Amino acid sequence: MKKMFFASVMALSLLSCRENKSDNSPADNVIDNSDALVSGSLKSYRDDEVTVNRIYFKLIKNDKHLTALNTKIVDTFEETEKTLAVYKNILNISTSYYQDAHQQTKSITDSLVRQQVEKEITASSNGYDLKIKNIREYMDLISKNKENLTSLYTTFKIRKTLPEIEKYQNAHPLQKDSLDHSINKQNRLLEELKNLR
Protein backbone atom coordinates (compact mmCIF):
# COMPACT_ATOMS: atom_id res chain seq x y z
CA MET A 1 0.00 0.00 0.00
CA LYS A 2 2.84 2.42 0.90
CA LYS A 3 4.58 1.61 -2.39
CA MET A 4 1.37 2.36 -4.30
CA PHE A 5 0.94 5.67 -2.44
CA PHE A 6 4.58 6.61 -3.12
CA ALA A 7 4.21 5.74 -6.81
CA SER A 8 1.06 7.87 -7.04
CA VAL A 9 2.78 10.84 -5.43
CA MET A 10 5.74 10.49 -7.80
CA ALA A 11 3.45 10.25 -10.84
CA LEU A 12 1.52 13.31 -9.69
CA SER A 13 4.76 15.24 -9.16
CA LEU A 14 6.01 14.34 -12.63
CA LEU A 15 2.70 15.32 -14.19
CA SER A 16 2.59 18.67 -12.43
CA CYS A 17 6.21 19.37 -13.40
CA ARG A 18 5.35 18.62 -17.02
CA GLU A 19 2.27 20.86 -16.86
CA ASN A 20 4.16 23.73 -15.28
CA LYS A 21 6.93 23.80 -17.85
CA SER A 22 5.18 26.70 -19.55
CA ASP A 23 5.08 28.47 -16.17
CA ASN A 24 8.87 28.43 -15.97
CA SER A 25 9.22 30.44 -19.14
CA PRO A 26 9.81 34.16 -18.67
CA ALA A 27 6.45 35.76 -18.08
CA ASP A 28 5.56 38.78 -20.14
CA ASN A 29 2.75 40.06 -17.93
CA VAL A 30 2.48 42.46 -15.03
CA ILE A 31 0.88 39.88 -12.74
CA ASP A 32 3.72 37.34 -12.85
CA ASN A 33 6.35 40.05 -12.78
CA SER A 34 5.04 41.51 -9.55
CA ASP A 35 5.66 39.99 -6.14
CA ALA A 36 3.10 42.37 -4.68
CA LEU A 37 0.27 40.99 -6.82
CA VAL A 38 0.68 37.24 -6.50
CA SER A 39 2.50 35.74 -3.58
CA GLY A 40 3.10 32.18 -2.49
CA SER A 41 3.17 33.08 1.19
CA LEU A 42 0.42 32.28 3.64
CA LYS A 43 -1.18 35.72 3.68
CA SER A 44 -4.88 36.35 3.94
CA TYR A 45 -6.96 36.11 0.77
CA ARG A 46 -7.42 39.88 0.57
CA ASP A 47 -3.64 40.48 0.74
CA ASP A 48 -3.13 38.37 -2.39
CA GLU A 49 -6.27 39.45 -4.19
CA VAL A 50 -5.56 40.56 -7.73
CA THR A 51 -7.68 43.59 -8.48
CA VAL A 52 -7.99 46.00 -11.38
CA ASN A 53 -6.35 48.76 -9.32
CA ARG A 54 -3.40 46.61 -8.23
CA ILE A 55 -2.69 45.56 -11.80
CA TYR A 56 -3.23 49.09 -13.09
CA PHE A 57 -0.83 50.69 -10.60
CA LYS A 58 1.83 48.09 -11.38
CA LEU A 59 1.24 48.72 -15.07
CA ILE A 60 1.59 52.50 -14.87
CA LYS A 61 4.55 52.44 -12.47
CA ASN A 62 7.01 52.98 -15.33
CA ASP A 63 4.71 55.01 -17.58
CA LYS A 64 5.21 58.74 -16.96
CA HIS A 65 2.12 59.79 -18.91
CA LEU A 66 -0.24 57.43 -17.07
CA THR A 67 1.35 58.30 -13.72
CA ALA A 68 0.83 62.01 -14.47
CA LEU A 69 -2.78 61.34 -15.47
CA ASN A 70 -3.41 59.42 -12.26
CA THR A 71 -1.81 62.18 -10.17
CA LYS A 72 -3.92 64.81 -11.94
CA ILE A 73 -7.13 62.85 -11.27
CA VAL A 74 -6.28 62.18 -7.61
CA ASP A 75 -5.33 65.84 -7.06
CA THR A 76 -8.58 67.00 -8.68
CA PHE A 77 -10.64 64.66 -6.46
CA GLU A 78 -8.84 65.84 -3.32
CA GLU A 79 -9.18 69.52 -4.22
CA THR A 80 -12.86 69.05 -5.05
CA GLU A 81 -13.53 67.29 -1.74
CA LYS A 82 -11.79 70.05 0.24
CA THR A 83 -13.73 72.76 -1.60
CA LEU A 84 -17.07 70.99 -1.19
CA ALA A 85 -16.36 70.34 2.50
CA VAL A 86 -16.05 74.09 3.16
CA TYR A 87 -19.34 74.86 1.38
CA LYS A 88 -21.15 71.91 2.97
CA ASN A 89 -20.02 73.01 6.42
CA ILE A 90 -21.39 76.52 5.92
CA LEU A 91 -24.67 75.20 4.51
CA ASN A 92 -25.01 72.64 7.30
CA ILE A 93 -24.58 75.34 9.96
CA SER A 94 -27.43 77.35 8.42
CA THR A 95 -29.65 74.28 8.06
CA SER A 96 -28.93 73.27 11.64
CA TYR A 97 -29.76 76.77 12.87
CA TYR A 98 -33.13 76.85 11.10
CA GLN A 99 -34.04 73.38 12.38
CA ASP A 100 -33.17 74.40 15.94
CA ALA A 101 -35.08 77.68 15.61
CA HIS A 102 -38.22 75.80 14.47
CA GLN A 103 -37.77 73.35 17.36
CA GLN A 104 -37.40 76.15 19.89
CA THR A 105 -40.57 77.92 18.78
CA LYS A 106 -42.48 75.06 20.40
CA SER A 107 -41.55 76.53 23.79
CA ILE A 108 -43.21 79.87 22.94
CA THR A 109 -46.47 79.84 24.88
CA ASP A 110 -48.21 82.70 23.06
CA SER A 111 -49.63 81.08 19.93
CA LEU A 112 -49.82 84.34 17.93
CA VAL A 113 -46.18 85.18 18.73
CA ARG A 114 -45.17 81.58 17.95
CA GLN A 115 -46.88 81.74 14.52
CA GLN A 116 -45.23 85.09 13.77
CA VAL A 117 -41.77 83.78 14.73
CA GLU A 118 -42.36 80.65 12.61
CA LYS A 119 -43.16 82.89 9.62
CA GLU A 120 -40.02 84.95 10.22
CA ILE A 121 -37.87 81.80 10.41
CA THR A 122 -39.46 80.40 7.24
CA ALA A 123 -39.01 83.72 5.41
CA SER A 124 -35.35 83.89 6.41
CA SER A 125 -34.79 80.24 5.43
CA ASN A 126 -36.52 80.66 2.07
CA GLY A 127 -34.56 83.87 1.40
CA TYR A 128 -31.30 82.07 2.12
CA ASP A 129 -32.32 79.16 -0.13
CA LEU A 130 -32.92 81.62 -3.00
CA LYS A 131 -29.59 83.32 -2.32
CA ILE A 132 -27.65 80.05 -2.48
CA LYS A 133 -29.67 78.37 -5.26
CA ASN A 134 -26.87 78.76 -7.83
CA ILE A 135 -24.30 77.59 -5.25
CA ARG A 136 -26.24 74.34 -4.75
CA GLU A 137 -26.51 73.93 -8.53
CA TYR A 138 -22.73 74.31 -8.84
CA MET A 139 -22.18 71.82 -6.04
CA ASP A 140 -24.52 69.37 -7.76
CA LEU A 141 -22.64 69.87 -11.03
CA ILE A 142 -19.30 69.24 -9.30
CA SER A 143 -20.69 66.02 -7.76
CA LYS A 144 -22.03 64.90 -11.14
CA ASN A 145 -18.69 65.65 -12.82
CA LYS A 146 -16.91 63.64 -10.13
CA GLU A 147 -19.19 60.68 -10.83
CA ASN A 148 -18.48 60.99 -14.57
CA LEU A 149 -14.72 61.25 -13.99
CA THR A 150 -14.81 58.17 -11.76
CA SER A 151 -16.84 56.27 -14.32
CA LEU A 152 -14.57 57.18 -17.25
CA TYR A 153 -11.38 56.49 -15.30
CA THR A 154 -12.70 53.12 -14.14
CA THR A 155 -13.55 52.25 -17.74
CA PHE A 156 -10.04 53.28 -18.82
CA LYS A 157 -8.36 51.22 -16.05
CA ILE A 158 -10.38 48.11 -16.87
CA ARG A 159 -9.61 48.40 -20.58
CA LYS A 160 -5.92 48.96 -19.79
CA THR A 161 -5.70 45.91 -17.49
CA LEU A 162 -7.81 43.39 -19.44
CA PRO A 163 -4.89 42.55 -21.77
CA GLU A 164 -2.71 41.92 -18.68
CA ILE A 165 -5.07 39.36 -17.15
CA GLU A 166 -5.36 37.72 -20.58
CA LYS A 167 -1.54 37.56 -20.87
CA TYR A 168 -1.45 35.96 -17.41
CA GLN A 169 -4.08 33.40 -18.43
CA ASN A 170 -2.16 32.57 -21.61
CA ALA A 171 1.06 32.17 -19.60
CA HIS A 172 -0.74 29.71 -17.29
CA PRO A 173 -2.83 27.43 -19.51
CA LEU A 174 -4.76 24.92 -17.41
CA GLN A 175 -4.47 21.26 -18.35
CA LYS A 176 -6.72 18.55 -17.01
CA ASP A 177 -4.04 15.86 -16.67
CA SER A 178 -3.49 16.34 -12.94
CA LEU A 179 -7.21 16.56 -12.34
CA ASP A 180 -7.76 13.33 -14.27
CA HIS A 181 -5.04 11.69 -12.23
CA SER A 182 -6.65 12.86 -8.96
CA ILE A 183 -10.08 11.66 -10.07
CA ASN A 184 -8.68 8.26 -11.07
CA LYS A 185 -6.88 7.95 -7.75
CA GLN A 186 -10.05 8.87 -5.85
CA ASN A 187 -12.09 6.37 -7.87
CA ARG A 188 -9.60 3.59 -7.15
CA LEU A 189 -9.72 4.39 -3.44
CA LEU A 190 -13.51 4.52 -3.52
CA GLU A 191 -13.61 1.08 -5.14
CA GLU A 192 -11.07 -0.27 -2.66
CA LEU A 193 -13.11 1.02 0.29
CA LYS A 194 -16.34 -0.37 -1.15
CA ASN A 195 -14.74 -3.82 -1.43
CA LEU A 196 -13.37 -3.82 2.12
CA ARG A 197 -15.20 -6.19 4.49
- Among candidate residues 85, 62, 58, 61, the one with its CA nearest the CA of residue 142: 85
Per-residue pLDDT, 173: 87
pLDDT score for 38? 43
Query: What's the rounded mean pLDDT across residues 16-41?
Result: 51
Q: Please state, for a pLDDT cut of 70, what percent of the chain lies above it.
A: 78
pLDDT digits (tens, 9 = 90+) for 102-121: 999 999 999 999 999 999 99
pLDDT for 155 beyond 60: yes
**Domain locations in the chain?**
52-168
CA 93, chain centre distance (Å): 33
Q: Residues in the chain, how many?
A: 197
Burial of 109 (0-12, 13-18, 19+ CB in 10 A): exposed
Question: 173 exposed, middle or buried (CB, 10 Å; 0-12, 13-18, 19+)?
Answer: exposed
Residue 42 pLDDT greater than 50, yes or no: no
Residue of 50 and 154 predicted with greater confidence = 154
Average pLDDT over residues 131-149: 96
Helices 64-104 & 111-131, crossing angle to 10 degrees? Answer: 160
**DSSP structure class, residue 174:** -
Estimate the crossing angle of helix 133-171 against helix 64-104, to 10 degrees: 140
Cβ-contact 36, 29 below 8 angstroms:
no
Please check the confidence at residue 30 and state whether its pLDDT lies above 60: yes
Summarize the confidence of residues 166-178 as an average pLDDT. Answer: 89
The whole-model pTM stands at: 0.65
The pLDDT, as a whole number, for residue 35 is 55
| Residue 81 to residue 84: CA distance in whole angstroms | 5
For position 19, what pLDDT does the model report?
39
- For residue 15, name the pLDDT band (cuts at 50, 70, 90): very low
pLDDT of 34: 64
pLDDT at 21: 41
> Does residue 163 surpass a pLDDT of 60?
yes
